[in-house]
Amino acid sequence: MNLHAFSEWLSATAFSQKIQITSWAIPGIQTVHLLAIAALFAAALVVALRIGGRGLASEPLPSVARRFGRAIWMLLVVLLVSGSLLIVAEPGRTITNPVFYLKMTMVVLACVITIWLANVARRELERPAAIHVAAAAFTMILWTGVIFAGRFIAYVESY
Amino acid sequence: MNMQFFEWLQNTPLATTVSENWFPWVESAHVLFMAIVAGTILIVDTRLLGLTSHQLRVSYLADRMLPWTWGAFTGSVITGFLMFAAGATNYVHNTPFLVKMCLLVLAGINMLYFQLVTFRTVGRWDAGRPPQAARMAGLTSILLWIGVIGFARWTGFV
């Protein structure tokens, strides 16, 4: 079964149909998705700034990384659930859309670097190396890319 | 309402360039700025509610977050204005958009009241549990921002 056939099957399921005919469902789920990405972006920004010696600079790095790291993972779960519901509701808009795959690639990459940085932070590094600062900055570029790609899914044609 | 102004605005070269070429980029930048505004406000609001960052003084957290909030808010206003100009004659009749703007004004009043009145006594509760007025300000802010983002998203569906 190819992606197009899967997409058609998925959008014909009773659950997908239920979301599609509920007028407030898609903007409602998108609002949850937006609130979660806003909170995740800010939490990631606080961690990245702290690694760069800015923001909550008077706080120990392990404490900042642990507290905001926990928020990042909880918000990722919210994003995955709300995002999955949006795919089920409109599979033709996403799973055959190249921008969606670009977005998912950036999400995975950002998560991998975040896990690595969380491990670095746990070792109580008082002065993170240049590579860690660069990696933290790169995660913010990736999350920015995720936000742009998320919006561009609506503008780029599915194949 | 004087529609001539909105028609003029929508037909300015800047507005037509946005609607014909830049709209997805401006909209994405608007979402990015919104994320920084709402996200940093949420970090301060949950501290006011006593849910997070207990070990940080409220004044320190606010001092570290609010420059990002205001910087990104400036970006939101600029990108928001460009999007509005691109479809001004429609947006002035778009109910979710008008509700969003009202909620945004209420969020501003809530923040102003907190800054000018409640925050004046911060010395007494900076390191501990904020008083009821501060907790109410935090909760009100969270609810208003959920509304702002919800009605903003709904704007695009009308």
pLDDT at A127: 75
Q: Tell me which residue range forms the domain holding A16.
A: 3-155
Hey, is the C-beta of B51 within 8 angstroms of any chain A C-beta? Answer: no
pLDDT at A124: 64
Residues of chain B in contact with residue A45, where contact means CB-CB under 8 angstroms, are: 36, 39-40, 68
Task: Tell me which chain A residue has its CA closest to the CA of residue B33.
Answer: A38
Write B61-68 long-range contacts (CB < 8 A, 24+): B61/A56, B64/A55, B64/A56, B65/B40, B65/B41, B66/B40, B68/A45, B68/B36, B68/B40
pLDDT at residue A126 greater than cutoff 90: no
**Count of Cβ atoms closer than 10 Å to residue A1 Cβ:** 8
**B35 and A55 in contact by Cβ < 8 A?**
no
What pLDDT, in 10s, does the model give residues A17-29?
A: 999 999 999 999 9
Distance CA B142, CA B115 (A): 16
What pLDDT, in 10s, does the model give residues A33-64?
A: 999 999 999 999 999 999 999 999 999 999 99
The pLDDT-based confidence of B150 (bands split at 50, 70, 90) is very high
**A144 and B149 in contact by Cβ < 8 A?**
no
Mean pLDDT across the stretch B107-131?
A: 96
Output the 3-class SS for chain B: CCHHHHHHHHCCHHHHHHHHHHHHHHHHHHHHHHHHHHHHHHHHHHHHCCCCCCCCCHHHHHHHHHHHHHHHHHHHHHHHHHHHHHCHHHHCCCHHHHHHHHHHHHHHHHHHHHHHCHHHHHHHHCCCCCCHHHHHHHHHHHHHHHHHHHHHHHHCCC
Q: Which of residues 125-154 of B touch A (CB under 8 A)?
A: 146, 149-150, 153-154
Distance CA A122, CA A85 (A): 34
pLDDT at residue B1 greater than cutoff 70: no
Number of domains in chain A: 1
**B35 and A38 in contact by Cβ < 8 A?**
yes
**A27 and B153 in contact by Cβ < 8 A?**
yes
The pLDDT-based confidence of A6 (bands split at 50, 70, 90) is very high
pLDDT at A1: 65
Above pLDDT 70, what percent of chain B? Answer: 99
**Count of Cβ atoms closer than 10 Å to residue B5 Cβ:** 12
Mean pLDDT across the stretch B100-108?
A: 98
| Alpha helix stretches (DSSP H) within A13-89 | 14-21, 25-51, 61-89
Task: Tell me which chain A residue has its CA closest to the CA of residue B61.
Answer: A56
Per-chain mean pLDDT for chain A: 94
Predicted ipTM of the assembly: 0.95
pLDDT at B158: 86
What pLDDT, in 10s, does the model give residues B57-72?
A: 999 999 999 999 999 9
Instruction: Report DSSP state, residue A127.
Output: S
Instruction: Report DSSP state, residue A57.
Output: T
- Judge whether A34 and B149 are in contact, CB under 8 Å: yes
Distance CA B158, CA B150 (A): 13
Distance CA A89, CA A19 (A): 6
pLDDT at residue B141 greater than cutoff 90: yes
B125 Cβ contact list (under 8 Å, min separation 6) = B58, B131, B134
Mean pLDDT across the stretch B134-140?
A: 98
Instruction: Report DSSP state, residue A55.
Output: S
Sign of CA dihedral A80, A81, A84, A85: negative
What pLDDT, in 10s, does the model give residues A56-104?
A: 999 999 999 999 999 999 999 999 999 999 999 999 999 999 999 999 9
